[in-house]
Structure 1
Amino acid sequence: MKSNTMMTIKLLLVEDQQLVREGLKGLLALHEEIRIVGEASDGAEALELLAALPPEAMPDLVLSDMRMPRMDGLGLIRALAARALPIPVVLLTTFDDAAAFDEAVRAGARGFLLKAISPDTLRQALQDVAAGGTALRPSLTTRMEERHGERAFTAADQPDPLSPKELQVLRLVASGRSNTEIAALLGNSEGVIKNHCSAIFSKMGVRDRTQAVLRAIDLGWI
């Protein structure tokens, strides 16, 4: 998306360290398309804040630290799902840990980023997730491939095969691109790409993009 047509992203910021939280606020405030509608020191406080917000002020996405006291980022993701609040969550972590990445995507995180990333990378990741994509950094997905590379599968584990076009779409999904971006790259309408994604999810037995990426890594498709 270009800046002159960019949607406003309403963001809930969740970080237990005040200095880090203030730094993120200052950084994100530099971008006019990102508006922070609330901040919390942990997942439990975030849930309290969400319960008090009017519908028009609900965030488009949550940017949360992964490790926090009381309720961490994973607990927040699960609590949002239990409350039927479909707000995508991008997790920030200090360590490039494949086990943590595995845990995050299985919980339903739409993004998993290192705190050492550049401001431009963070901004782009938030835009991608707000547009319906994912933000899974390549170094982390590579580590996941290494982690699952020796896993053995039986015939029962194998989902229905994807068509060449569906596999192409899945690989672009895994790179973090939105449906709009994939449509532009492949010369299709966004509706066609949505249909491909629906078919991919059905064949793979998953419910969303992050689960599809994780399953594809397990199967060695990407």
Structure 2
Amino acid sequence: MDESAPASPEAAPAVAAPAAVKTLRVAVVEDDPTLRLFMQKLLQKNGNGFELAGAWATAEEAVQPVVESAPQVVVVDLELPKTSGIEFIRQLSPRMLNTAFVVLTIHDDPEKVFEALRAGANGYLLKSSKPAEIVAGIRQASEGGAPLSQEIARLLIQSFHTPAAPKKKNIPSLTPRESQILERLAQGMVPKELAYELGISYETVREYIKSVYAKLHVRSRTEAVIKYLEHQG
């Protein structure tokens, strides 16, 4: 061995390459063109790790391509024309078990939140959220989490602290949804208001009302409300 030869430098320790961010396919259902464009740009921004599966203005336009493309996450507005966001989630979530549905809306009342979660939503974010919070929420939902805006989480906690209202007496012949419709009619709400509050279509509300009338053997809202009030007494 030639002792005069320069010693070989020690091998530098291997540096692990940073883990690649998993690319997620995300779809958007939002009727406001400005917000829809914002979401498209946010999802297509380099570094966020998203692939836009598509963006649609109505639930009717979105159903088939969403089912066919099977994105990991679908971001849905609640206030959509005709079929609501909640009804859209209710229809698709049982068919798309590997897809997370995240609500992105302006509504921050607990009833809307509970209705959306019961329909199958995996998360509930407000449109006032920062872009980074929306990005984090989408990724969290894709990993099995349940992203909630801070305001929504606080409202849900407060709702559990509120004393429960006296339980209404449902008419046995009516389904839970029909009882809910009848109670709202007794409170003075009209079908369009019912559709908005319950997150279902106007046509669906009308069908429920027809069913209530038939089961109560009445012909008008007034007669139905009278029967409801008599039953509560």
Q: Which TM bucket (shorter chain)?
A: 0.5 to 0.7
Residues 1-222 of structure 1 correspond to what in structure 2 (within 5 A)?
4-32=19-47, 33-51=49-67, 53=68, 57-151=69-163
Task: Give the Cα separation in 2 of the matches to 1:129 and 1:11.
Answer: 11
CA RMSD of aligned residues (A): 2.1
Contact preservation (8 Å) 1:77, 1:107:
yes
CA contact (8 A) 1:98 1:147 kept: yes
The equivalent residue for 2:208 is none
Residue 45 of structure 1 aligns with an amino acid whose one-letter code is: E
Structure 1 residues 31 and 100, CA, compared in 2 at 3 Å: closer, same or farther? Answer: farther
SS in 1 for 2:63: helix
Question: Structure 1: which 4+ aligned runs deviate by more than 6 Å?
Answer: none
Structure having the higher Rg? 2
Deviation at 1:120, TM superposition (A): 0.6
What's the offset of the Cα at 1:93? 0.9
Q: Normalized against structure 1, the TM-score is what? A: 0.60
Aligned with 2:157: secondary structure?
helix
- Aligned residues of 1:80 and 1:87 also touching (Cα < 8 A): no
| SS of residue in 2 equivalent to 1:36 | strand
Between the two proteins, what is the percent identity of the paired residues?
Answer: 27
Could you say which residue in structure 1 is the equivalent of 2:175?
none
TM-score, normalised with respect to structure 2: 0.58
Give the Cα separation in 2 of the matches to 1:142 and 1:116.
Answer: 15
Distance 1:120 1:84 in 2: 26
Q: Could you tell me which amino acid in structure 2 is paired with residue 97 of structure 1?
A: D
Whether contact under 8 Å (1:113, 1:137) holds in the other structure is yes
Q: CA deviation at 1:151?
A: 4.2
Note the residue ranges of structure 1 that are not aligned, 5 or more in a row.
153-222
Matched length: 147
Q: Output the CA distance in 2 between the equivalents of 1:3 and 1:111.
A: 29
Distance 2:162 2:112 in 1: 19
